[in-house]
């Protein structure tokens, strides 16, 4: 008998139990059951998605490469209107710097907390669905079933 699982996302790991099945291919995932080996229990298929899929974000989205590149420039642009005033007001420089430091710490704290816990909307990733097909073949006899795997 041959068991094949296809439609699995790239870099995923598929395993089956019981251990009597022998893995023969990983693209698509294929196992064979040696001849005259009795099936003593149900066959269970497990699919493990890579952690990198959950962390992936397209560039340009909050937390992506574009935002990381533009952050230092945007902070520098925010300080341009205050550059002349800070130079002229030497006595008040300490006060202005402390206010600017407080403002920068507040902005950094709010930016660090803004991306947590969103499952939908602008900051969230859209769910991805995969159609997984499981086929068992023995000689001329073949049975298959499919199901939908949703990665949210």
Spell out the domain ranges in the chain: 2-55+125-151, 65-113
The pLDDT of residue 57: 47
The pLDDT of residue 115: 56
Query: Per-residue pLDDT tens for 126-137?
Result: 678 888 899 989
The pLDDT of residue 142: 92
According to CATH, the topology of domain 2-55+125-151 is Immunoglobulin-like (2.60.40)
Query: Per-residue pLDDT tens for 20-70?
Result: 888 898 878 898 888 888 877 788 888 888 776 555 544 444 445 666 677
Query: Per-residue pLDDT tens for 72-122?
Result: 777 777 777 777 766 666 666 677 777 888 888 878 777 766 655 555 545
Q: What is the DSSP string of 79-133?
A: HHHHHHHHHH-STTHHHHHHHHHHHHHHHHHHHHHTTTT-SSSSSSPPPEEEEEE
Q: Is the pTM of this model over 0.75?
A: no
């Amino acid at each position: 008998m041959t068991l094949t699982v296809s439609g699995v996302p790239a870099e995923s790991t598929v395993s089956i139990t019981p251990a009597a099945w022998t893995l023969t291919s990983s693209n698509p995932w294929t196992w064979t059951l040696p001849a005259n080996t009795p099936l003593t229990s149900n066959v269970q298929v497990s699919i493990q998605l890579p952690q990198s899929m959950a962390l992936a974000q397209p560039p340009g989205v909050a937390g992506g490469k574009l935002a990381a590149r533009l952050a230092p420039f945007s902070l520098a642009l925010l300080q341009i209107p205050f550059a002349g005033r800070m130079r002229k007001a030497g006595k008040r420089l300490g006060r202005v710097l402390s206010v600017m430091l407080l403002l920068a710490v507040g902005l950094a704290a709010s930016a660090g907390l803004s991306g947590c816990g969103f499952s939908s909307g602008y900051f969230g990733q859209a769910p991805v669905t995969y159609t997984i097909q499981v086929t068992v073949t023995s000689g001329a006899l073949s049975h298959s079933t499919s199901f939908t795997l949703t990665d949210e």
